[in-house]
Structure 1
Amino acid sequence: MITAYRVWDGEQMHYWDDEGISLNIEDGNWYLYRKGKFITSNKTACAALMWGIGSKDQNEKMIYDKDYILDHNTDTKFVVKYDNNQAGFYLDIGIGNGSGAFMVGDLEIIGDVYRSSKLLEGIE
């Protein structure tokens, strides 16, 4: 099984299924390549690796860490985050201390924290 991931390099997002993309993880560091050419790594200040959560939104798009989500049932916007202590993803409801909601409902990806920074001012 291939785990879905994406990487922000400071200018654009690269996805695990893009042609020629490979992610190498060595000694606690990660490196992203396209057709053998280095793109970025965790040693680059603006780079970020985000894992897919294993679920899709209502439009069948994979949900990733740091996505902005709209819950159509409550008309509420959230940020997807990962909690190391709980070893799981949650929807950040923006009140701090890792508080959040379970990912259920009529969810739609409406952006991400790197390309849509104004969508959820005050939450991220």
Structure 2
Amino acid sequence: MHYWDDINLNLFIKGKEWTLYKDSAGLCPDIVASSQDGKSVLMWGTGLKDKNEKMIYEHDIASKGERINEIIRSGGKFLLKINGCWGMELDSSFEVNGDVYQNPELLEGAE
């Protein structure tokens, strides 16, 4: 997993395609991940941190009390999905438990 503040990391977006690459001192850039590689996903940050100061990203799996579900973007806001169609607005009391790509088992039994 790579984050926006990794050193020398650049993101190029054109239409629906994107490429994440490392700048290598004037040489050909090293491609780190791409929308075309079939195994990478671009996750947008919410700008918020959880109760442990961990950045929260869209499609993370987070919990608040007994509720655990996916972070979604709806109506320009980031929400904890509830009942599949609406959500609870995020704040710093949530805890990130994983993400839907690496930890799908965390969503078993979620609302």
Q: TM-score range by the shorter chain?
A: 0.7 to 0.9
Tell me which residue corresponds to 1:60.
53
Total equivalences in the alignment: 106
Q: Which amino acid aligns with 2:94?
A: L
Which of 17, 27, 30 aligns to 2:18? It is 30
In the TM superposition, what is the alpha-carbon distance from 1:118 to its structure 2 partner? Answer: 0.8
User: Where does 1:43-122 land on structure 2 (aligned, <5 Å)?
Assistant: 43-71=36-64, 74-83=65-74, 86-93=75-82, 95-96=83-84, 98-104=85-91, 106-122=93-109
- Mapped to 2, the partners of 1:44 and 1:88 lie a distance apart of 29
- Mapped to 1, the partners of 2:97 and 2:20 lie a distance apart of 25
Aligned alpha-carbon RMSD (Å): 2.0
- Mapped to 1, the partners of 2:92 and 2:7 lie a distance apart of 33
Which 4+ runs in 1 deviate beyond 4 A?
A: none
Identity of aligned residues (%): 39
- Mapped to 2, the partners of 1:21 and 1:123 lie a distance apart of 35
Larger Rg: 2
Q: TM-score, normalised by structure 1?
A: 0.73
